[in-house]
Structure 1
C-alpha cells in the first residue's frame, strides 16, 4: 500500500500579518513611524536606491567641478587685478618722481616736499577708489603705526601688513601682497574690513635725499562681487542639473523596474495558485525575452502541477475506494476469523496458533483500513474539528490507562508529570478531544515501542497563557542523523527489519501530524543517538490563535546538560 501515498506539497509556516513580531514591536517604540516607512520604502525600491545613488554621485562630481571652476575663476580675477594695480602703482610712482625731478631741492623743505609728493596721489586715489600711505624714510626704523604719515582719509595703517613694511626697511623694488583694507568712520567709530591688494613702491625725495615708500591700497570689492555672482550661477546650475539628473534617472530606471515589478506581481499570483497568470510581452528587447521565458516557465509549471494534482487525486480516490471496498470482505473474514478464534481450543496446536495469528492480523488490517480512510479524508480536505474545552491532563491519564497492557507486556513504566509550583494552572485547551487523544496515544505507543532497557516513558504537560503542550520522552536508541525529518513520513521505519510490537500500521505519526496541523499546532521531534528521543505536541489554547512559543522545551533537561549532536525535526510549525 506504500505506492498509494499521494503527492502533496509541503505546508510552509505562516505568520499572522495583523500581529507584528516582537522585534518589530520593539523597534516601533523607538523609531518614528515616518522613519520606518521611509526605511521600508528604501529597502524595497530599487528605483529609489538607484536614483538616490546617482544623484549623490552626481552631486559629488558637480561639487568637485564647481569648486575647481570657482578656484580658477578666483585665481584668474585676482591675478588680473594684481597685474592692473601693480602697473597703476608704478605709473603713479613714476609720475610722482617726474614731478619731484622738475622741482629744485632747495625750494622746499623735506616736510613740505613729502606733502607735495603724497597729496596728488591721494587725490587721484580718491577719484579711482584706492588709498595711499607714505612711509619712511628708509633706515629710520619708523613704522606707519607710529603716526604722522601722509595717508588717505579714514584709511587705517593696519591695512599695510608688517611683512611688507619690513621688506621696505631698505631700498627694494616694487612689491605687492594681499591684505585687508581697514577703514574707520570718524562719526560712528565703526571699522570695516574688506579684502584688497597693497603695492609698495619707493621714491627718493630731493629735499633730503632720503628714500620714502608709497603704499597703494586697492580694494577687491568688484572682484568679490564678480566671484559671488559666478558662485551663485554655478550653484543654481548645479541644483538645476541635479534635479534633471534625478528626473532622468527616475524615468530611465522606471523603464527597467516596471517590468520587474510586473513579473513580481505575476510570480506572487502564481505562488497563490493562480496558475493562469502571464506577463504581457512588449517589444523584442531583453525584458521582452525575459517575459517570454517567464511565461514558458509558468506554462510548464502549470502543466506539471496539474499533472501532479491529477495523479494525487487519482491516488487519493484509489486509496479511498479500495478502503471502502475492502470493508465488506473484511467484515466477512472477520466473522469467520472470530468463529475460528473462539473454537481454537478444539484444534491441534498448529491450527490453534494459526487462528490466533489470523485474529491478530485481522485486527491490524482493520486498523490499517481505518487509518487509510482517515488519511484519505485529510488529503481530500474533508477533515473538520469538533471543538470543546478539555483538560490535557485527563487525556494523558486516559491514554496511559489504555496503553497499560502494552506497557506491562514490554516492561515499561509510563508516568505522567503535571505542572507544579505556585504558577501551575490546568492545561485546558479548545481542541477536538478525539483527535488530540489519538495524537497522544500514537506518541505514547511509539515511545513504548522504543523505550529501551531503562523501561521508562515520561509524559510531561505544560501550559501558559497562549499554548498547552504535551511532551513524550523515551530513553531508547534515539534518532540517527536525518531521521528526525523522516519520522512523520507515511510507512517510515527507522529500522525496516524491526517488527512493530504494538501492531502499528506505519501511519500513526503521519495522522498525528495532520491532526496537529488541523488544530494550527506544532508536532516536533528531538533525538540523540543512544539517549532516546522526545516528541512535543503544542496546541493553541484558543482555536484560531497563532502559536509563537511552547511552554515546554523540545530538548529534554537531562539531555540539555550533556552536550552532543542534537537531532531536531519540525513536523508541523
Structure 2
C-alpha cells in the first residue's frame, strides 16, 4: 500500500515537473522569437516610440527599458527579482523565474536585445525586456495530474490491501496451524499434527514437528506401558507376599514370646528377625496401598467425625500423647474417612518424632469450609533441596539411612489420602523445624 501511494505520488510529481518545464521552455522560446522579429525595425539608440513598439510586439504584461526610458504595461518593475535583472543586465542572457502574485502564479522572462553587426558579432544594445506570462493554465493541468494520481492510488489501494492480506494469510496460516499444534501437544494431546503446505522451509519445519510429535507419542506410550507393568508387578508381588507374610507374622509373634528364654546371641538374632519381619509387613502393606492409588481403586468411606478427638485418639493409641502438644477445639466436626485420617496423622507425627526434635506440636484449626491440621517440630527442618522431593516415593532425606523404620512411602501415601478427600498436604521449612499442613474439606464426598 505504501509502495502504491509512493509510486502514484512520484509519477504525478515527475509528470508535473516535466509539464511545467516544457511550458516554461515554450514561453521563453516564444518571447525570444517575438523580440527577434521586432528587433530589426528598431532604431538605435531607441526612442520612446521604439520602446513602445517593441513592448506591443511582445504583448502581455511587459516592461521595456533603455537607460532612463521605459515602456510599461501591467507589470510593476518592483516585481522584477534582483537575480533576474542581474542575469539580463550583467550577463546579457535570457533568464526566467517563477513568481507568485496575490491571485495568480506566473513566469517572468527577462532578456536583453542584442545587436548583430554585418560581420556577425553580437553586442548588447542596452534594451532590456521583461514580460510576465500567466501559468494558470499549466497549474490547472498539474492539478489535474495530481488529482488523477490520487484517484489512481485510491483505486489501487484496496487491491493492494487485498493482495497483501492474501499474501499474509498464505504465509501466516501455516504458522498459526503450527502454533496451534504445538499448543495442543503442550496440553497433552499427543495425536495433534499439522498439515504441511508447500515445499518451503515452513513445510519442512511442520514435518519436523510432526516427526517429533510422533516420536514423543511413541516414547510416552512405551513409558506408560512400562509404568503400568511396574504398577501391576508391585501389586501382584504385594498380593502374593501378603499370605506368606501373614503366616510369618504369626510365627514371629510366637517367637517374640519365647525370646526371653533364649541365650544372648540367639535372643538378639530373634529380635532382629522379628523387627525385620514387622518392617517387611509394613512395606508390603504400603506397597499395596500405593498400588490401589495407582489403579484408581482407592475409595473413601466417609462418616461424621470429630477431627479433634480423632487426632487425640491417634496419638493415644501409639503412646505419643505425652510427647506431643495438641492445640485443638473441643469439637471439630467434619465428614471424612476416619481410617485414612488416622494414617495421615500417624505418619506426620511419627516423622516429626523420629526425624525432628521436641517440642512436636499439632494444631487443629476449624474453618468454615475446611479443617486444617498443622504438625511442626523443632528439628533441623527441610532444606531447599529436600522440599521438591519430600513427597516422592521411596525418598529419604539421608540416602545413607537405608535401615530406618520407614519405607519411604509414608508421605506419598499421606498426600494421596489428603487429595482423595479433595484436600492437600504441603510441606515447608520454618527456619527452626519442619511444618506439614493437612487441609481437608468439611464435607468430603464419598468415592
Give the TM-score taking structure 1 as reference length.
0.58
CA offsets 1:191-249 (integer angstroms, 9 cap, x no match):
x3x43322234569xxxxx9675432223334334434444444455556655555445
**Which of residues 68, 74, 79 is equivalent to 1:160?**
79
Q: Closer, same or farther in 2 for the Cα pair 1:495/1:233, shift >3 Å? A: same
**Which of residues 509, 512, 524 is equivalent to 2:414?**
512
Residue of structure 1 in register with 2:100 after alignment: 180
**2:243 corresponds to 1:328:** yes
Displacement of 1:506 after TM fit? 0.9
Displacement of 1:504 after TM fit? 2.0
CA distance in 2, matches of 1:382, 1:178: 99
Alignment of 1:112-511 (within 5 A): 118=55, 121-122=58-59, 125=60, 132-134=61-63, 150-152=72-74, 157=76, 160=79, 162-163=81-82, 167=86, 173-182=93-102, 192=103, 194-201=104-111, 214-238=129-153, 243-244=158-159, 246-252=161-167, 254-255=169-170, 257-259=172-174, 261-262=176-177, 297-342=212-257, 344-347=259-262, 357-385=272-300, 405=320, 408=323, 435=340, 438-451=343-356, 455-457=358-360, 472-479=375-382, 482-498=385-401, 503-511=405-413
Partner of 1:371: helix, strand, or coil? helix
Aligned residues of 2:95 and 2:110 also touching (Cα < 8 A): yes
Displacement of 1:374 after TM fit? 1.8
Aligned residues of 1:469 and 1:536 also touching (Cα < 8 A): no
CA offsets 1:16-74 (integer angstroms, 9 cap, x no match):
xxxxxxxxxxxxxxxxxxxxxxxxxxxxxxxxxxxxxxx6xxx2x55555555444434
Aligned residues: 432
CA offsets 1:62-101 (integer angstroms, 9 cap, x no match):
5555555444434333332222222223334445545654
CA distance in 2, matches of 1:443, 1:343: 34
Aligned residues of 2:16 and 2:145 also touching (Cα < 8 A): no
Aligned residues of 1:443 and 1:535 also touching (Cα < 8 A): no
CA distance in 2, matches of 1:288, 1:443: 56
Aligned residues of 2:356 and 2:434 also touching (Cα < 8 A): no
Partner of 1:365: helix, strand, or coil? helix
Q: Closer, same or farther in 2 for the Cα pair 1:264/1:361, shift >3 Å? A: same
Which 5+ residue runs of structure 1 have no aligned equivalent?
1-54, 126-131, 143-148, 183-191, 205-209, 419-425, 545-573
Give the TM-score taking structure 2 as reference length.
0.71
Residue of structure 1 in register with 2:119 after alignment: none
Q: Which has the larger radius of gyration?
A: 2
CA offsets 1:455-486 (integer angstroms, 9 cap, x no match):
34455678999987665544544455643333
Aligned residues of 1:523 and 1:535 also touching (Cα < 8 A): no
Partner of 1:491: helix, strand, or coil? coil
CA distance in 1, matches of 2:198, 2:221: 31
Aligned residues of 1:345 and 1:352 also touching (Cα < 8 A): yes
Residue of structure 2 in register with 1:12 after alignment: none
Q: Closer, same or farther in 2 for the Cα pair 1:225/1:429, shift >3 Å? A: farther
Aligned residues of 2:35 and 2:54 also touching (Cα < 8 A): no
Q: Closer, same or farther in 2 for the Cα pair 1:82/1:538, shift >3 Å? A: farther
CA distance in 1, matches of 2:252, 2:207: 65
**Which of residues 5, 11, 17 is equivalent to 1:75?**
17
CA distance in 2, matches of 1:265, 1:95: 84
Partner of 2:393: helix, strand, or coil? coil
CA distance in 2, matches of 1:257, 1:169: 66
Partner of 1:218: helix, strand, or coil? strand
Partner of 1:216: helix, strand, or coil? strand
Residue of structure 1 in register with 2:122 after alignment: none
Q: Closer, same or farther in 2 for the Cα pair 1:382/1:195, shift >3 Å? A: farther
Q: Closer, same or farther in 2 for the Cα pair 1:358/1:244, shift >3 Å? A: same
CA distance in 1, matches of 2:334, 2:86: 101
Partner of 1:405: helix, strand, or coil? coil
Partner of 2:73: helix, strand, or coil? coil
Q: Closer, same or farther in 2 for the Cα pair 1:481/1:101, shift >3 Å? A: same
* RMSD over aligned Cα atoms: 5.0
Q: Closer, same or farther in 2 for the Cα pair 1:304/1:214, shift >3 Å? A: same
CA distance in 1, matches of 2:391, 2:151: 70
CA distance in 2, matches of 1:487, 1:274: 30
Displacement of 1:376 after TM fit? 0.8
Aligned residues of 1:181 and 1:219 also touching (Cα < 8 A): no
Aligned residues of 2:360 and 2:378 also touching (Cα < 8 A): yes
CA distance in 2, matches of 1:135, 1:428: 120
Which 5+ residue runs of structure 2 have no aligned equivalent?
115-124
CA distance in 2, matches of 1:430, 1:177: 102
